[in-house]
Structures are given as structure tokens and as C-alpha cells.
Amino acid sequence: MNNLDIGDIDMERQQSKTINLLIIEADAAEVAGIEGLLAEKASVDIKVKHADSFSSASVMLSQDTVDIVLLDLMLPDSELINTYSIVQFLIPEIPIVIFSSTDDVSVAAMALSLGAQDYLVKGTFDGHTLLRSLLYAIERNRLRMDMLKVQYEHGHRQEFMSLERLTGSPKAAITSQMMGKSSLRQSSSETFVNFVNKYCEILDAAVDQRIYKTENKIQDDLLSLSEQLGFLKAGPRDVVEIHSESLKLKLNAVNMAKAQLYLEEGRFIILELMGDLVTYYQNYFIVFRKN
């Protein structure tokens, strides 16, 4: 690229592919201005797509290939840091560069601390600065994702190794023997699958609540699940096996960032379900002794 100092960026890789840029900006004139600045730097093939609201951007992000997002914080249906936070949840593996008319250091600092790759103020940059910001953002994000992938895979393995040790421990086997039955997985595979499906629904509700701040009846669902497990004389091993199988199903279908949310929420869910099951048996034995 002529007269462009990109430092350590692998320019051969950047120049050999089309960069799909999504501009999320309500003002069509601003978008035209950005396209004009990028057109000056013809050495990199950038395909520009435009969304004029958060809702239209959500649709495009779910359907189109996007390599990087240029995001205005002030949209008709969302504004400021809330805009960035929701877009980041939608595309956790895609770099976001913010460009805004808000020259507020505190807003910029907040956006960068949440993970934005850069913060540009409208009217203060030329085509050279804009292109350098986009290319830097793509490369930094690639390195970040490589590092996160290693960390995630290591944590993923450790998580399931710990769960496998729990299900295979002598204490778990003794508990099953005391309950006078084999595990649900062994005794009734269809029942086990039904419990896994219900547990997956609870995991989905917990993650949605975390992302979108929705109110779900997770505690009620867990209480109902514990009562069903208790009626079948299920034990801790059954709960851990249901939890493990549910996580495997969910993690195979989502990106790394969302998978991490499933792991985090899953730890709370399994503890609460264990507690509900213990309470069920305590109440059961109290009633049994009275009778």
C-alpha cells in the first residue's frame, strides 16, 4: 500500500482478500463520506455494506459475511455504550471500530475498555487514518482470537475433565447404590435425553437473560426439574451427567464467546439444581419419618 505504515500487519494477507465492512450509521451522508475516503485507497478491496439502525444491522449481521464493523453510537433505536454492548454480544468475534460525533474522553475510554478496537471522532480523520484503523483492528482482533481460542480450548478441556472425575468418583457410585438404582443414562436413555433437553432450555434462558437482560423463570424451571429427578430417585451423578451432556450439545453450536457464557451460567445452574434436589430429599425424608 502506497505511503501507508502498517507496522507488523501482514499486508499480503490483507491485500489478497476482500474486506467486508458494515457501516452502522443513520446518516446516509456520513456513509457516503466514508465510502469516498476509502475509495481513495484503492490498493485494498473493501466492500461496504450499510445499516441505518440497530434493528437492520442485527438482520444483516445474522445473514451477511462481515469482517469488521464501523459503528456510530447514536442510532434511532439505540444509543451510546448500550449500542456497542449489544452489537458486541451479537458479533463477539468480529472487530468493531467506533466513529462518533461525541468527542467525550470518558465515552471513548468506556468503549475501548469493553473491547472496541478503536474510537474515531467524525470529521477528524482522513482516508489514510481510517484505513489504517480498520486494518489494525482486523489484525489485532485476529491475534486476540488466536489467544482466546487457546485459552478457551484449555479451559474447555479442564471443565469436562473435572465433570468426568465427578461422575466416575467412588462417592458418586456409592450414592447411586444407596439410592438403589443405576444412573438415568443407563436405566432409561429416553428419560435421560428428555432431561438433557429441558436442561438445555434452562441454559438458553440463562444465557439470554445474561445478554438481553430479560426476566426468565429459571428458578421455577430448576425447581420443577429437581422434583422430577427426585421422583425418579436421581442422584448427584445423574445431575452431573445431564449437565455435561447439555453443555456438549450447546458448545458445539455456538461461537467461543457465547460458549464461555454457557460454561459460566452452567456452573450456577448445576449448583442450584443440586441444592433443589437436596431440599427435595430432605422434605421427602421428613414426610417419610412422620408417616
Q: Are residues 51 and 133 in the same domain?
A: yes
1 inside domain: no
162 inside domain: no
Q: Are residues 82 and 183 in the same domain?
A: no
Q: Is the pLDDT of residue 117 over 60?
A: yes
Among the residue ranges 75-79, 176-180, 252-256, 268-272, the one predicted with the least confidence is 176-180
CA angle 59, 199, 185 (to 5 degrees): 135
The helix (run of H) or strand (run of E) holding residue 23 is strand 19-24
Q: Please tell me the distance from the alpha carbon of residue 185 to that of residue 262, in angstroms, as a whole number.
A: 22
Q: Are residues 119 and 216 in the same domain?
A: no
Better-scored residue on pLDDT, 284 or 200: 200
Confidence at residue 18, expressed as pLDDT on a 0 to 100 scale: 87
The CATH number linked to 265 is 1.10.1240
Span 159-209, pLDDT tens digits: 788 787 766 655 545 445 555 457 899 889 999 999 999 999 999 999 988
Q: Are residues 24 and 139 in the same domain?
A: yes
- Residue 192 and residue 203 in contact, taking contact as beta carbons nearer than 8 Å: no
Confidence at residue 10, expressed as pLDDT on a 0 to 100 scale: 53
The CATH number linked to 130 is 3.40.50.2300
Nearest CA-CA partner of 81 in 103, 58, 98: 98
Nearest CA-CA partner of 141 in 94, 98, 86, 71: 94
Q: Please tell me the distance from the alpha carbon of residue 119 to that of residue 108, in angstroms, as a whole number.
A: 6
- Determine the average pLDDT of the residues in 95-124: 89
Q: Are residues 62 and 119 in the same domain?
A: yes
152 inside domain: no
Nearest CA-CA partner of 166 in 104, 63, 242, 88: 242
Q: Are residues 196 and 247 in the same domain?
A: yes
Q: Which residues touch 160 (CB under 8 Å, ≥6 apart)?
A: 244, 247, 248
Confidence at residue 2, expressed as pLDDT on a 0 to 100 scale: 35
Q: Is the pTM of this model over 0.75?
A: no
- Determine the average pLDDT of the residues in 266-284: 92
160 inside domain: no
Span 211-240, pLDDT tens digits: 777 788 999 999 999 999 999 989 888 999
Q: Are residues 80 and 197 in the same domain?
A: no
Confidence at residue 129, expressed as pLDDT on a 0 to 100 scale: 92
Q: How many domains does the chain have?
A: 2
Query: How many alpha carbons fall within 13 Å on the CB side of residue 245?
Result: 18
101 inside domain: yes
CA dihedral 114, 111, 150, 203 (to 10 degrees): 40
Q: Are residues 117 and 214 in the same domain?
A: no
Domain membership of residue 81 as a residue range: 11-143
265 inside domain: yes
